[in-house]
Structures are given as structure tokens and as C-alpha cells.
Structure 1
Amino acid sequence: MLKKLSYTILFALTLSSCSDTLDDINKNPNATETPLAPYLLTGTLKQGADLYWGDANNFNSTLLFVQHWAKIQYTEPDRYDVSNTSFTSLWDKGYSTLITDLNTIIKFPDAQANSNYKGIALSLRSWTFLLLTDAYGSIPYKEAGQKVTPAYNTQKEVYTGLLEDLRQAQSLLNSANGSVTGDLVYKGDIAKWKKFVNSLRLRIALRISYREPVLAKQAAIEATSDAAGLIGSESETFKFTYTSSPQQNPASAWFETRDDFRISKTMVDQLYALSDPRLPVFAQLPSDASVGKYVGGANGLSNSDANSQGFAKTSKPGTYFLTSASPAVIASYSETLFNLAEAAARGYISGDAEQYYKNAITASFNQFGITNATTISTYLNQASVKYDASNYAKSIGTQKWIAFFGQGLDAFTEWRRLDYPVLTAGPATVLDGKIPSRLFYPGTEQSLNGASYQAAVADQGKDLLTTKLWFDVK
């Protein structure tokens, strides 16, 4: 009996020793056991830019819906012939990567992340939630990251919650509260982050303007009267600047190996009609020199009809958007001025809506390298460009649509909200002449979070591309 007990003890000690040895062997001596706020911040900025500017949510979907780009082959997305597996990356990476990592920063003790890290993380999380609700509608918000099967919140609840989150983010941001590293956008400049927060607040105020005008006015006043100010120059535009491969702009990487996109005929025709000097920035001349002018690809064609337009006879998007270092613009000075114009037109804030509108167009020209005062003045004085106070949605909506070129997710949202310009679905599209009003929920939600998904669909409407979202009432 004693001998048996001795063997048992010896075996247990041996196992313990092996376990300790294996633990030591499996440790990565170069890895940190605790995630660091600067690295998480750098990662979320890069991955957020890729998500916003990449193929799945931008040039292979929303840029097609708003007819900025068109497909010249593999035209299924341009015909809206898609499924609930088509729009998973915004949802999956938005929740599992961006929001998860940003929540980690927010929950860090002060010794690991000062309040500026937390304010930045809260503002970026708010931007991520905003992209999600703008695209899908009702989404997990309050319970996101808290439960395995989180309940969905309505779009109204998300928007109003984000206004509160951004108010909190603003209170956390203070240059006296410590420095920030790992910030690839504003290089730790807290004053610029505070302006970004206020610009997001103004953006959300207009999102809810048709549904909740009283709250929208209050939010617009708070955003514009905050002492920190708004994005006020091109140097304060929120953008992620890429470098070279493998840290290159996603569109640049795509065009290195593929040739299936053109600038949309709708955009080219609009820019020609307005004698718009942004056309050579937005488009390349066809490779067939005999064509001699910019030619857009039509949206919503069958594969054969799209191909027959001629690869060499149609214009690719401009090289401004297709170089390795092309920036991912996320919140521009131009957009902020357009938002001020609309807020003034609605009577939410004081100010000259027409002047804000002119300044917004000028800022867009400057963003794309057009600075000649005579060129800008000539453009602004055209009857077709002049501000129409009796239909500010048309003036602002049309010019904002142009200025948002390349920013598919936000261009899609603002086009649905303002309903300008008037777009027509292509001849081979599959939604009975309609253009999508939202993205499908990922199919995995039905299997992994079925009860919450079903409750959201019952409240919002069928999980279809044509179901209008809460903010989209016109």
C-alpha cells in the first residue's frame, strides 16, 4: 500500500514538473502579457481605415449603390445580386476587432491608459457604431461586448446613445491629462481629437433631423457651441494616410492585380454637366488615346453588356485614389461645412447657410488639389451650382454626393437621407427598379443570435436590401 502511494505521489510530481516546463516552452519571450494602449490604438486606426476604405464595404458595394463607381466585369454587386454573406466584414470586424479592442482601452485602469486614450477610444467606438447602424439599422449596442447573444437596439436608441457617448468622450479629452502615442491620424494632438468629436456630434444631429428635430437642434447647438470647435481646416481632416505595400491603400492593392471597376457614368456625366474641375482627379482618361475624353461605365449592366463598353474605352477611377499612399478620408473639413450649411438652413444654428455651402465646395476643391480662386469662383457662380434656399436638400445633397467621392458608406447614408441626386437603378438590377436602402444582416446572426435577430427584424422590417431604415423617411 505504501509503495503504491509513493508511485502516485511521484507520478503527480512528474506531471506538475512537465506542466511547468511546457508552460515555459510555450511562452513567447517577445510578447507582452498585457495589451498596450498605444498598440491597440494603432491597430484600430489602421483596421478601421481598411474597413471603411476597402472593397467589401466601399468600392464593391456602397460606391456602386451611389453610382460613384461601376463594374465593368463581375457585375453581380452592381446589380444588387448579393446575399447575406456579402456584407459580413463590416459587422464581424466592427464588433470582434474594433469595438473589442476599443472597449479594452476604455476599461484599462488609469495606470495603463490615461483619460485621453479613453476619450479617443470612446470617440472611435462611437464612429464604428455609427457606421454599423447607418448600414444595417438596429444593431447590438448597449449589450455589445457584454453578452454572447446581445439584444439589438433600435436605430433611434443607438443615435441618441452615441450623442451621450460623444459628450462623455469630450469630457475625457484634455491635453493636461497626459500624452498619447500610437496615434497615426492626429499624432496625439488632443485639440484635433476634440474637434473630431464635435464634428461627429453634428453629423449625428443631422442623421436624426427628420425624425427628432428638437433633439437634433439641441445636439447641433451643443456641437457647434462647444469651446473645442469643429474640424476647421483641411489640416484637421480625419484621415488615415497609408504608406507602401503591405501598408498600402486597399484600392491601390486591388488595382495591382485586378481590373473590374470604372468611374460611374452617372458621376462623369454630372461632372461634365457642371464643368467640374474635379473630373480629372476623380477619373483617368481611357487607355485608348483615340477616345480623348472621360467615359464612365454604366451601373447595373449584365456582365456581357458591361464588358462590351470596352476596357480601353472607359475611365478608371483617378490615380489620386489608387496610389499606395492615397489617404482614407473619414471625416473631412468639406463635410463639416456642408453639415453647418444644413444646420443653418434648418434653423438649428445661426449663420449663413449659403456661405457655408460655398465654403464646403471650396474645401472639397482644395482637398483634391484645386486651389485657383478664379476656377473656384467660376464654378460657384454657375446657375446649376448656386445655392437654392427653397430646396437646400437638393443643393447640399448633390454637392455633398460629389464631395464624398470614394467614401462609399457615408455617401450612401447621406444620399438616402437627403434623396439627392436622383439616381436610377441600372437595367439589369434585381430589385424591381429600386436601389438598396440598407445592407443585409450577416447570415450568422440568424444562427448565433437568432432570438435577438428575430426581434430586431420584427420591429424594423424584413431583412431585405429595400427595407428603409428609421432615419430614411423621405
Structure 2
Amino acid sequence: MKKYFLYSLVVASFLTSCESDITSLNNDPKNAQEIPSSFAFASGQYDLANAIFDPGTQASGFPFLIEHQAETTYVTPSRFLLNTNSTNMWDRVYVRGLKMLDNSKNILSKEFDAGNEVGRNKLAMIEILSCYGFKSLVDTYGDIPYTEALQQENKISSPKYDDARTVYTALISRLDNAIGSITASSGGYTQDFFYKGDMSKWKKLANSIKLSFGINLADVDPALSKKIVEEAYASGVMTSNADNAVYSYDGASYKNPYSVTREDIVASKILVDQLKQSNDPRLAKYFSTVNGNYIGGVFGNQNNYKTTSTFSASVSATTARGLFFDYSQVEFLLAEGAARGYNVGSVATHYKNAIAASMDYWGVAAADRDAYIAANPYNSAGNFKQQIGAQVWVSGYTNGYFVWNSVRRLNYPSLPVPPTSQLSGYPIRLPYPDGEQNLNNVNWTAAVSKIPGGRDIATAPVFWDKN
């Protein structure tokens, strides 16, 4: 019921702002009409953004996978007893995010502006988000249904799984087509939560997503990785925090998910101690104090909510913004690309820009920002994976999906496996949901047979994680 309630809120919130007059939608309940594509787009965007930004209580558990958060009573995520039920990342991206985006695409094809510049821009917006949604699934699980996905109307209820690397290649081509179709001087969906249909921003987002595809390929296909990264950079990625793709919650119909975690989540001692040790000014932006002190909870243990730091007001406010993709992330990816020898500028410059962008986003004073950067400069003689990886980990608070990709790709920081863990090692993928084994067993079995070791386990790498 909760899912349909959320969808009803999405529809209700747009009744007064839609481009078309839809007051007759409910006139004939026996002959339901299609909602405008803008409604389906907004719903898909909302669910995809929430799946990426979720604090870990409902979907992926990304903040727990990177050990930024600890727990009080319900400690299964921090003990790496990973969620394989129907509320996990799989369903939220496939059933809700991608399916609604696919619906918006089908509805758009029947609307009056489907063939003009605005219509092509709308289609590009759908395609960009869809590519990122499928990418997040590949990065999380490995092989996934792609060519037969989202085709219930064609009576494909048990879709085959496609090779993860092949899906990546198809998504990059699809993203290129979307980028090439954008007319930046024309608009798109005005119901867009990120940019209100500003297509110059969407083009930067698309190129930034393409950049993330390219960097993930660095250890499996360096030549292709270099080509993709350099193309994205030349075409135009995010260049400031003004380009950030953020979801703004209204605090009423849509509440920041970090505001509704009850008293289940506290700060992780691992992150708190690192921030304190490095005099990182973001400590006060991330967490609250207990009697004037910052105290982290032991990861994997039950912790006392009253005596442990938790989310700051900046994080837990009902109207706090949700990060989907941001400029700091782009600069870290460019720093890594430059360190790998790609023609995208200076490692040190991108590294500095990335840290500064994170500090600025969190509202750190300029003097404190500059002091931290001066104390933590990039050392060209050092190990680039360790230097960039360390700063991504502390900068990417509330951006767990991006940080988890970085941790796996750069192998840094080396996060400890708690003694209470249900796994023998650190989780580098999520197991498929139980429903796939039960309802799509033949295709699930074929996919599992390709996982290193032949078992659906969290300690087997996805295709691009070669180290």
C-alpha cells in the first residue's frame, strides 16, 4: 500500500502544474485514460532518485556497505546480512523507477509534441535516467535482465539475464544517442525535479554519467575507458555545484528519507574518528554532538542512540536535499582519469576542485575549506588510488552508491569486516532478490552460474571490479 500511496502523492502534487488539462481523467471510471507522460516521468525520477539516495533502511544499504552508518537495534545491514526481499534496490529501480520511465516513454510517443525539439528533449531526459538506472543495477548485481526487461505487456514475465559488460556497452551507445538528440536552447519536462527542464543542465548530467561509465571500465578495457572519458569531458560535464542533480523534498508530501529513520541509525565510529583525526570541517555538517562531543557507534554492534552522534540537522531535515549526481563526484572521476593518463586536465586541480566542491555543498566556511585542502594536498609521487579513494570516502557522505563504486574500483579505503559479519569478506555486490530465484528460476540459475564461484554471493566481483 505504501508504494501506491507514494504514487498517488506524485500525481496529486502535479495536478495543478501539468502542461495539459487533465481534469477529465476521472470522468469515465470504466474507461481509464492514460496519465500525461510528465506524471510518469516525475514518478520514475522520484523513485530512482530515492533508490540512489536512500539511507539504507529500505533499498540498497549503500551507506552501510561503505560503513558510514552504524545501528542501534536492527543491526542486520551493518552485519552484512544483505536485504534480498521485495523492498531492495532491485524492485525500487526496476518495478518503480525504470518501469515508470518506460511508461512515460510509451505515453510520450502518443503526445502532441513527440516529434518536435521539446519532445525529443523529453525523450532524452527519459533515456538519460533509464541508462543510469540500468547502470546502477549492473554495478550492484552484475548480469541483469535488460533486453527482455520491462516487457510484461508483451507477456515476458521471466526475462533472461544479459551479460553485464554487454549491457554497459549498449547503455553507453544509448546515452550517446540521447546526448546527440538534445537541443539545449529548447525545454523539456517542466515537472523535472532536478533542473525544471533546463536541457543545458541535462546535457552536462548525461556527459557526467557517461564519464562514470568510462571510469568504471578502466581496469577491464583501458583503451575504451580512455576514449569514453575523454569524449565525455570534451562534450561538457558538470563544472560547478550549480550543475548538481539534487532532489528537493517539500517536507510534506515528500520527506527527505533521512528524516524518517526513527532512532535506528547512528554515525559510524570509523567515519567519525577519521573526520576528527584529519580536522575535517564537514564533521559538524554531517553529524550531531552528544554533550558537545562527536561519538561514533561501533559498526556491526548495537549502539545506544542517546549516547551516540547521529544525523545533523543539515542531513535529517524533512526538506534537506537528496544528492543524485554532483559536481564533486565529477571532479573525483576526472582526477582519477587524469591519474590514469587520460587527457582531461591536471590530477591535482581536479582533486582540489572535488574536495572544495564537497565542502561548499555542505556549507563549510571558505577559510576552513582552504585550510583542509592545504593540509591534504595531492602528492603526485604517491599512490593515486589511495589518495583519491580516501577523499572520495569522506566527501561522499549520503552518496553511498558513488562511494561504494569507488571503494571497489580503487580498493581503498580497505574497510574492516566486523567480527559480527554474516560474510567471510567485504561485500562487493548484492545478491539477487529472493523473488528472482522463486519466480524466474531458470534465468536466475543461468546468471548465477556465471558468477565467480557459481554461487549468488556478495563477495564475488562484478565484471569491472578486477582488483
Verify same fold: TM over 0.5.
yes
Q: For residues 44-89 of structure 1, what are the alpha-carbon distances to aligned partners after superposition, in whole Å with 9 as ceiling and x for unaligned?
A: 122222222235477872211211111122112211234532x743
1:343 maps to a residue whose letter is G
Equivalent residue in structure 2 for 1:193, among 181, 202, 205: 202
Higher radius of gyration, 1 or 2: 1
Paired residue for 2:126?
121
Q: Are 1:264 and 2:268 matched, yes or no? A: yes
Equivalent position amino acid for 2:447 in 1: A
Count how many residue pairs are aligned between Structure 1 and Structure 2: 431
Deviates more, 1:168-177 or 1:135-144: 168-177
Q: CA 1:168–1:32 in structure 2 vs 1: closer, same or farther (change >3 Å)?
A: farther
1:159-198 matches, cutoff 5 A: 159-176=168-185, 179-198=188-207
Supply the distance in 2 between the matched residues of 1:318 and 1:64 (Cα, whole angstroms): 18
CA contact (8 A) 2:184 2:203 kept: no
User: Residue 450 of structure 2: which of 459, 465, 470 is its match?
Assistant: 459
Q: Distance between the aligned counterparts of 2:350 and 2:268, measured in 1?
A: 28
1:285 to 2:289 alignment: yes
Distance 2:72 2:271 in 1: 15
Alpha-carbon distance in structure 2 between the residues aligned to 1:112 and 1:187 = 17
CA distance in 1 between counterparts of 2:439 and 2:71 reads 33
Q: Which one of 138, 142, 148 corresponds to residue 143 of structure 1?
A: 148
SS in structure 2 of the partner of residue 465 of structure 1: coil
Query: Per-residue deviation at 1:389?
Result: 4.5
Residue of structure 1 equivalent to 2:251: 244
After the TM superposition, which segments of 4 or more aligned residues of structure 1 sit over 4 Å from their partners?
55-60, 176-179
**In 2, are the aligned partners of 1:342 and 1:392 still within 8 Å (CA)?**
yes
Question: Is the Cα contact below 8 Å between 2:51 and 2:59 reproduced in 1?
Answer: no
Is the counterpart of residue 328 in structure 1 residue 335 in structure 2? no
Q: 1:313 to 1:169 in 2, by over 3 A?
A: same
> Residue in 2 aligned with 1:253?
260
In the other structure, the counterpart of 2:441 is 450
Secondary structure at 2:169 match in 1:
helix
Alpha-carbon distance in 2 for matches of 1:209, 1:58: 31
1:357–1:387 contact (8 Å) kept in structure 2 = no
Unmatched runs of 5 consecutive residues or more in structure 1: 1-24
The separation in 2 between residues aligned to 1:141 and 1:392, in whole angstroms, is: 35
Letter in 2 for 1:446: Q
Equivalent residues of 1:268, 1:294 under 8 A apart: yes
**TM-score, normalising length from structure 2?**
0.87
* Counterpart in the other structure of 2:373: 380
Moved more, 413-422 or 361-370: 413-422
- Considering only aligned residues, what root-mean-square deviation do their CA atoms show, in Å? 2.2
Could you tell me which residue of structure 1 aligns to residue 409 of structure 2? 417
CA contact (8 A) 1:299 1:425 kept: no
Structure 1 residue 101: Cα displacement: 2.1
**1:121 Cα deviation from its structure 2 partner:** 0.1
- Share of identical aligned residues, percent? 30
**Are 1:195 and 1:230, in contact at CA under 8 Å, matched by a contact in 2?**
yes
Equivalent in the alignment of 1:351: 345
User: How far off its partner does 1:231 sit?
Assistant: 1.0
Aligned-partner residue type, residue 275 of structure 2: L
Question: Contact 1:393–1:420 (CA<8 Å) still a contact in 2?
Answer: yes
* Matching of residues 82-161 of structure 1 within 5 Å: 82=82, 84-85=84-85, 88-107=87-106, 108-109=108-109, 111=112, 113=114, 114-146=119-151, 147-161=156-170
Q: Which moved more, 1:93-102 or 1:217-226?
A: 93-102
The answer to whether the Cα contact below 8 Å between 2:56 and 2:64 also exists between their aligned partners in 1 is no
SS of 1:470's partner is coil
SS of the aligned residue for 1:328 comes to strand
Aligned to 1:438: 429
Residues 308-362 of structure 1 deviation map (CA, whole Å, 9 limit, x = unaligned): xx33221012221100111110111101011111111111224111111011100
What's the TM-score, normalizing by structure 1? 0.86
Q: Is the CA contact (8 Å cut-off) linking 2:336 and 2:384 kept in structure 1?
A: yes
1:469 equivalent to 2:462? Answer: yes
Q: What is the deviation of 1:153?
A: 1.5
Offset at residue 267 of structure 1 (A): 0.4
> AA paired with 2:136?
L
Secondary structure of 2:383's aligned partner: helix
Gaps of 5+ in 2: 1-25
Distance 1:238 1:60 in 2: 20
Structure 2 SS opposite 1:334: helix
Q: How do 1:297-336 residues align onto structure 2 when only pairs under 5 Å count?
A: 297-301=297-301, 306-307=302-303, 310-336=304-330
Task: Give secondary structure in 2 for the equivalent of 1:239.
Answer: strand
Structure 1 position 250, deviation (Å): 1.1
The 1-side partners of 2:378 and 2:234 are apart by 28
Q: Which has the higher helix share?
A: 1
User: Which residue in the other structure is 2:20 paired with?
Assistant: none
Q: Which amino acid aligns with 2:158?
A: T
Q: d(CA) in 1 for partners of 2:378 and 2:276?
A: 16
Could you tell me which amino acid in structure 2 is paired with residue 39 of structure 1?
F
8 Å CA contact 1:58–1:408 kept in 2: the answer is no
